[in-house]
Structure 1
Amino acid sequence: MKQVVQSYRTGELKVADVPAPRLGAGSLLVATRVSLISAGTEKQLMDLAKASLAGKAMARPDLVRRVLRNVRKDGLKPTIEKVFAKLDTPIPLGYSLAGEIIEIGRAAPGHVVGGRIACAGAGLANHAEINAVPKNLCAPIPEGVDDEDASFVTLGAIALQGVRQAAPTLGECIVVMGLGLIGLLTVQLLKANGCRVLGFDPNPARVALAKDMGADLAVSSDLPVVVSGFTGGYGADAVILTASTSSNEPINQAAEISRQKGRIVVVGLVGMTIDREPFYKRELDLKLSMSYGPGRHDPDYEQGGHDYPLSYVRWTEQRNMEAFLALVAEGKVTPKKLVTHRFPIGEAEKAYALLESAEPYLAVLLTYPEDAAAHMERSIARVTAPARTSAGAGVAFVGLGNYAKSVLLPAFLRAGGVRLTSVVTATGVSAGHAGDKYGFAAIATDPAAALSDPDTDIVVIATRHDTHAALAAQALAAGKHVFCEKPLAIDADGLAEVLAAAEDASGVLTVGFNRRFAPLLVKAKAALEPRSGPLVMLYRVNAGEIPGDSWIQRSEGGGRIVGEVCHFVDAMTFLCGALPIEATAVAARGHDDAVSIILRFADGSTGAIVYSSLGDPSLPKEMIEVFAAGRVIQLDDFRRLSVTRGGKTSVVKSAQDKGQAALVAAFLAAAREGAAPIPVAELEAVTAATFAIEAALVGSCDAPVRERHAGDA
């Protein structure tokens, strides 16, 4: 299918051929009929993408600070690799469309195939022939509303939420500053609410259009004087700012034209440095409108499909979309009057060139062929670079996020002896980019394309955590060798599923427990030998904070204990050479990811893990100390190893190496020779230990890892 994408690194914009997206359980698969280019928002994205690295840094100083922290914490080279992997990811453009439902997810009832639907959401309702859109970002198109009008649904919801924030009442005088698409829609929404509306924009053509769309008055200059006359000298009851400018003048002018105790609502991207005096003297209310409405930026609402009860949240973003379309159906809002240009999707580059030309434009639409769904493909064969296809094991990647691109894929390529057969992602955009950059033979959005491919010997699973177990089990059942990024599973049922598949499989299974392959940790283990007694181990992790709305903290991530603490349990398992059999854990009050964990191992060793999100992230992340038979081992962030014995300390220093390359090399050797680099019993016990830690945190009691291991103590 065709989709508009832009390189965030170079700014290049193109119409790419990519596989159709995979349908999620709570989503609708939609064949796009018309999508709207939001000139203001998308032009800003284009300009940022085309900016130099310095320009991008100036636009996002928050990200620069994060990069600098990571340099101090992880080193320059790993940080730069991650940054460029992120910059290389193409941006899908578009966020407002109208189309036809062609498939329905099992958790998205109430729709019918063939139904007309309007969709919203950046990265979801894209300029693409086929889109998978979560159900809460979709609204049925009423009878009598054509696709072009319905394609304005996102901008309509944004305008409507701004109006709701202004809380206008019948007969009030409202000023709309900025008469672009959202401003002009705001004018009509306010008129539908029974308000007297004054529009302002420096562009005389926009002023004329505002009058044509129902504004009582619209001007391009002398705003304070005009407002005084329009309101009988009182000032505006409310001002809605829909302009886009870095200047602080609009917000301060809004204060000057407001009445005593008036309201100002910021919808557009404007400067926010305010003059205190007019706000103070008039005791003004200042509000920022959050895009489409309640639910925006809430992953549980947008991605998870959990609606807010209507009795508590009357107007969610979806209900705003529905209300806007209803007003269009009644003829009170006429979006199609704003359309100045139409382009077929294949000529989208011309549409975006228009945004940078001197030719006047307002609403620009992209149109799509009606038979796109009939040609929908979720796997596309490509012509690959000879260096990737000459010899070696065929490797497919299912999932290609930032870690997979910056760490795993380079490790496989550096190890040599591999062919890149296919790459699978949920949307196809990043798959297409990876295919171009690395030379995969095929790009796909359906994992079955990789699992059923006879040329694929190895499947690397680097998707979100909740999919690992099922995908690993399927790949093993298909006779593939499986490298599964941690964790192996996020619950006991998933672990049982993949273990059952591994028991009968001909392929090798390993998990991305790379720390046991770190050169300095291997040296530390060697320094503990020979030994006859147990180890006492301490692993301190300065983990840093991950926001609660991150996917890692939600159901698809399984949380930080299952998702990351498994690394540290595995490192201790490697050091003592015995399985964990019991776990005790407590969390700091109010902080589920600031925990102290005690583990007991089958050989009598103990391990303490202090895992905290509360520290300063600029300090090193990991410190390991091991005490055994007159020896003390200290490993500082995989950069410095000290071994103290008999009053003497020896020190080894190196660049940080957490073992990813060595793990990949060991796995490839195992795929050739048949011996797993990590015994399946250890994969099982380490994963089960994380479940036991979570159970201990919930129950505040000791939790056995697995009963059959307890008898080994």
Structure 2
Amino acid sequence: MKQLVQNYRKGLLRVCEVPAPMVRPGGLIVASRCSLISAGTERASVRVAQRSLMGKAMERPDQARKVMDQVKKKGLVETARLVLNRLDAPVALGYSCAGVVIEVGDEVQGFKVGDNVACAGQNYASHAEIVFVPKNLCVKLPEGVDFQDASYVALGAIALQGIRQAEPRLGETVAVIGLGLLGQLTVQLLLANGCTVIGSDPDPYKLEMARESGAIAVLPEQLEEAAESLSKGQGVDASIITASAKDNGPVRAAAAVCRKRGRVIVVGAVSMNLPREPFYLKEIDLRLSTSYGPGRHDRVYEEKGVDYPYAYVRWTERRNMEAFLDLVRKRHLDLKRLTTHRFPIDRATDAYTLIMEETEPYLGIVLDYPAIAGDRPARVVELRPARSESRVRLGIIGAGNHVKDMLIPHLRGRPGVEIRAVCTGSGIGARAVADKLQAAYCSNDYEAILDDRDINAVLIGTRHDSHAAMVVKALGAGKHVFVEKPLCLDENELDGIAEVYVRAAHSGLRLMVGFNRRHSPHARKVRAHFDGRTSPLVMVYRVNAGTIDPSHWIQDRTVGGGRIIGEGCHFVDLMQSVCGSPVTTVRSVSVGYHQTGITNDQSIMALEFADGSVGTLVYAAAGDTGLAKERFEAFGGGRAAVIDDFTSTELYSGGRRHAFRTRKQEKGFFEEMALFCASLLRPDVVLPAFDEIEAVTRACIAAERGFVTGECYPIGTTTVVPGVSSAALS
């Protein structure tokens, strides 16, 4: 399918062929017929993308500060590589479209194949021939509303929510500052509500459009005089700011024309450096409007489809979308007059040239799409001929930031290894990574990679809830597997993997989990330091983990499994590798309460190992980021060792200190990728044994249970391959 894609690093726009999205529970697959370019918002995005690196940094000083912090940890060269990788990531433009439902996901009611719908949402209702949209961002088209008008649904809902925040009464006077597309919609909605409207904008073309709708339209310098005249010296009842500006000029103007105890509503992106005097003297009520309305930026509402109760939240974003389309149906709005240009999707870049260069006046610009035939949308896009000489032909399943930043760089150009295919949930992401790696094809259906007989190994880097099923299917399909941690989320999944692994190991298949820290040169130094000891170790691993928003998917027990299963496994594995013995028991306790409702990421785990060693994992999410993230200490046999954030290691024995330092953090990503690839090329190369992986995974699952029960749990590994030792299997 065709989709408009922007390269954020260079600012280039192009329409390219990408895999069509797959249906997921809670959403719909929609074949687009029209999508609306939100000229103001999208022009600003393109302008930022076209700026230099310094210009981008000045636009986002918060991100620039994070980059400087990374330079201190990873070094200038590594940080530059990471930043450029992120900037190379493709961006989907557009967030308002209309089309026909061609597939309905599980857990969706009220929609069927063939329904005409309007859709909203950044990264959902994009400028693409086919889109996946969660059900709460989709509404059916009322009878008589065509696709062109329906494509305005997102901007219409934004305008409507701004008006709801203004609470205009019949007969009140309202000023609209900024008469772009959003301002024009706001004008028409206010007039439909029985208000007198004064519009302000420096563009004569936009002023004339507002006058044709029935508003009084004036230049910014004429606004105060017009408002005073129209309100008989009292001031307008409300001012709605739909302009975009870096200074606080629109806010000053809005306050200046308001009456005492009036209302100022900020809808557009403007500076919030408020002038105190007019707001104080007039006791003005300042309100902000959040996009389409209640539900916006709420993952539970938008992604999981959990609605707000009608009686308590009358106007959610979806109900705003429905109300807007109903006003269109009743002919209270004239959207045809606002649509100044239409382009087919093949000429989408011409539309943006018009917007960026302003070669002629414009307002509403609609992209048109051909009707999709009844065939199943293509989810595999062939890009180039495959190379056939490589012994390791790898398929990548899941190429998020971690995989792109930390794993792929250590696979590219490795002798004997070819990255044959790339699969991600995002079609544009799959295409971008595949092009960069010169892969033969891209897809967003991982089954396509498993069905490819030429691929003999897969790297799985998807969200945690999918790991177990993908590992089982990949091993069953005869593929070697590298899976990012964690291996799985519960013991039933682990038992299923173990059962399949027994058969796969006998046929020579390899399985490796991304516990990278054990492969770090710092970890190797520590293991060698304690080599030959005859007494157990005492180990302490402190992790200053930092906060993660409670709405992040990793905090979702069903998707990410929580941070102990999702990340804590790293640290348990390192302790296990240092003492060279599996975990046998685990106790866990977390803080008593936290305002987020999440306490397991502020916790302590006490571990016992089969050789008598003990370890403590202190996982703290509420610390200050100024402190280094990780510190590991081990003591035993008259020796001691300290790893400080994988940049320095200190080894103590015989009263002497030996220091080992690296120029940047070395967490073992290069070494683990090298080991996995070598194990596929040489049968004598040993991977970590499955019983070690199993022990770590069971320990973290048990720790999560212990947070609730307070009990101590024994950890037993159950995977035995008769006649084959763990070392031989690995």
TM-score, structure 1 normalization: 0.96
1:572 aligned residue (572, 575, 588): 575
Q: Counterpart of 1:594?
A: 602
The residue that corresponds to 1:645 in the other structure is: 653
- Range with bigger deviation, 220-229 or 41-50: 220-229
Instruction: Give me the whole-angstrom Cα distance separating, in 1, the residues matched to 2:293 and 2:261.
Output: 24
1:23 is matched with which residue? 23
Percent of residue pairs bearing the same amino acid type: 47
Q: In 2, distance between residues paired with 1:473 and 1:466?
A: 13
Question: Structure 1 residue 448 and structure 2 residue 439: aligned?
Answer: no
1:630 aligns with 2:638: yes
Deviation at 1:270, TM superposition (A): 1.6
**Residue deviations 1:261-308 (CA, integer Å, cap 9, x gap):** 100000011222221111100000111111111111111111122211
The letter of the residue matching 1:657 is: E
Q: Which residue of 1 aligns with 2:728?
A: none
Separation (CA, whole Å) in 2 of partners of 1:30 and 1:514: 40
Deviations, residues 318-337 of structure 1 (Å, cap 9, x unaligned): 11111111111111122222
Where 2:412 maps in the other structure, the secondary structure is helix
C-alpha contact 2:585 2:714 (8 A) present in aligned 1? yes
Match of 2:364 in 1: 363
Taking a change above 3 Å as real, the CA distance of residues 601 and 255 of structure 1, as seen in their structure-2 partners, is same
Aligned to 2:334: 334
Which deviations, in whole Å up to 9, do the C-alpha atoms of 1:203-253 show, x marking residues without a partner? 2222221122232x2222511111112112211111100011223111111
Task: Give the C-alpha shift of residue 582 in structure 1.
Answer: 1.8
CA distance in 1, matches of 2:75, 2:605: 28
Alignment partners' CA distance in 1, 2:535 and 2:122: 58
- Once the two structures are TM-superposed, the CA of residue 453 in structure 1 deviates from its matched residue by 0.5
**Matching residue of 1:12:** 12
CA distance in 2, matches of 1:309, 1:499: 44
The SS at the match of 1:225 is: helix
State the Cα deviation string for residues 509-559 of structure 1 (Å, max 9, x = none). Answer: 110001111112112112112122211111111212222222222242221
Q: 2:423 and 2:9 mapped to 1: Cα distance? A: 22
Which residue of the partner structure matches residue 490 of structure 1? 489
Match of 1:668 in 2: 677
Distance 1:76 1:683 in 2: 34
Per the alignment, residue 234 of structure 2 pairs with 234
**Partner residue in 1 for 2:179:** 179
User: C-alpha distance in 2, partners of 1:17/1:707?
Assistant: 47
* Deviation for aligned residue 1:676: 5.6
- 1:82 and 1:402 in contact (8 A); partners too: no
Amino acid at match of 1:13: L
2:401 aligned partner, one-letter code: N
**One-letter amino acid matched to 1:443:** C
Match of 1:135 in 2: 135
Whether the 8 Å CA contact 1:389–1:420 is kept in 2: the answer is no
Match of 1:687 among 681, 694, 697: 697
Instruction: Measure, in 2, the Cα distance between the counterparts of 1:592 and 1:249.
Output: 47
Deviations 1:307-359 (A, max 9, x none): 11112211111111111111111111222220011111011111111112321
**SS state at 2:542 partner:** strand
Q: CA deviation at 1:200?
A: 1.8
Cα pair distance change 1:378/1:171, threshold 3 Å = same
1-structure distance, mates of 2:337, 2:631: 64
Structure 2 counterpart of 1:311, one-letter code: A
Give the letter aligned to residue 487 of structure 1.
Answer: P
Does residue 617 (structure 1) correspond to residue 625 (structure 2)? The answer is: yes
Find the aligned partners of 2:649 and 2:227 in 1 and give their Cα distance: 73
Separation (CA, whole Å) in 1 of partners of 2:98 and 2:251: 34
CA shift digits 1:163-184 (9 cap, x unpaired): 0111112221111111111111
Displacement, 1:72? 2.5
For residues 540 and 398 of structure 1, what CA distance do their matches in structure 2 show? 32
For the 8 Å contact 2:205–2:361, the answer to whether it is kept is no
Where in structure 2 are the equivalents of 1:199-278 lying within 5 Å?
A: 199-215=199-215, 217-220=216-219, 221-278=221-278
Q: Structure 1 residues 615-624 or 506-515, which shifts more?
A: 615-624
- Is residue 30–residue 133 contact of structure 1 (8 Å, CA) maintained in 2? yes
| Residues 571-580 or 145-154, more deviating | 571-580
| Letter aligned with residue 92 of structure 1 | A
User: Is 1:704–2:703 an aligned residue pair?
Assistant: no
Tell me the SS of whatever aligns to 1:292: coil
Check whether the contact 2:604–2:619 (CA below 8 A) recurs between aligned residues. Answer: yes
Quote the Cα distance in structure 1 between the aligned partners of 2:705 and 2:629. 25
Q: In 1, Cα distance between the equivalents of 2:27 and 2:252?
A: 43
Correspondence for 2:467: 468
Task: Report which stretch shifted further, 695-704 or 328-337.
Answer: 695-704
- Which residue of structure 1 lines up, in the alignment, with residue 381 of structure 2? 380
Amino acid aligned to 1:570: D
Q: Is the 8 A contact 2:600 2:704 kept in 1?
A: no
Equivalent residue number for residue 392 of structure 1: 391
Q: Retained in 1: the 8 A contact 2:95–2:121?
A: yes
AA in 1 matched with 2:533: R
AA aligned to 1:682 is E
Whether the 8 Å contact between 1:396 and 1:459 is mirrored in structure 2 is yes
Structure 1 Cα separation of the partners of residues 56 and 531 of structure 2: 52
Partner of 1:514 in structure 2? 516
Counterpart CA distance in 2 for 1:71 and 1:421 is 33
Alpha-carbon spacing, 1:550–1:78, altered in 2? closer, same or farther (3 Å): farther
* Residue number in structure 1 paired with 2:724: none
Paired AA for residue 499 in structure 1 = A
Letter in 2 for 1:580: V
Pairing partner for 1:558 from 543, 558, 561: 561
Letter in 1 for 2:622: L
**In structure 1, C-alpha distance between the alignment counterparts of 2:526 and 2:273, rounded to whole Å:** 56
Separation of aligned partners in 2, 1:464 and 1:372: 33
What do residues 120-165 of structure 1 show as CA deviations (whole Å, max 9, x unaligned)? Answer: 0111111000001111111111111000000000000100110011
Q: Give the 3-state SS of the residue equivalent to 2:274 in structure 1.
A: coil
* Residues in 1 aligned to 2:717 and 2:477: alpha-carbon distance in whole angstroms: 31
CA–CA distance in structure 2, aligned partners of residues 379 and 582 of structure 1: 46
- Correspondence 1:36-55 to 2 at 5 A: 36-55=36-55
The reply to whether residue 658 of structure 1 matches residue 660 of structure 2 is no
SS of 1:500 mapped into structure 2: helix
Where 2:407 maps in the other structure, the secondary structure is helix
> 2:3·2:128 contact (CA, 8 Å) conserved in 1?
yes
CA contact (8 A) 2:392 2:417 kept: yes
Change (3 A) 1:80 1:699: farther
- The more displaced of 672-681 and 620-629 is 672-681
- Once residues 354 and 253 of structure 1 are traced to their aligned partners in structure 2, the CA distance between those partners, rounded to angstroms, is 30
Residues 497/333 of structure 1: CA separation in 2 closer, same or farther (3 Å cut): farther
How large is the RMSD of aligned CA atoms in angstroms?
1.7
**1:456 alignment partner AA:** I
Does the CA contact (< 8 Å) of 1:509 and 1:676 recur in 2?
Answer: no
Determine helix, strand or coil for the equivalent of 2:588: strand
Matched residue, 1:416: 415
SS of the aligned residue for 1:356 comes to helix
- Structure 1 stretch 100-109 or stretch 183-192: which is displaced more? 183-192
Does 435-444 or 49-58 show the bigger shift? 435-444
SS at the partner of 1:642? Answer: strand
Instruction: Give the conservation status (yes or no) of the 8 Å contact 2:694–2:717.
Output: no
Query: Whole-Å Cα distance in 2 between the matches of residues 13 and 309 of structure 1?
Result: 41
Quick one: distance in 2 between partners of 1:698 and 1:230?
Answer: 65
Ranges in structure 2 where 5+ consecutive residues have no aligned partner: 720-730
Q: What does residue 722 of structure 2 align with?
A: none
> More deviation in 511-520 or 64-73?
64-73
Deviation at 1:371, TM superposition (A): 2.6
- Cα distance change of structure 1 residues 304 and 79 upon mapping to structure 2, 3 Å threshold: farther
Displacement of 1:77 in angstroms is 3.7
Aligned twin of 1:534: 536
For 1:46 and 1:373, the matched residues in 2 are separated by 35
Deviations 1:372-418 (A, max 9, x none): 6637200011115x8x6542310010011111112211112254211
SS state of the match for residue 411, structure 2? helix
- Judge conservation of contact 2:583–2:610 (CA < 8 Å) in 1: yes
Q: Within 5 Å, which residues of 2 pair with 1:299-310?
A: 299-310=299-310
Q: Which residue number corresponds to residue 124 of structure 2?
A: 124
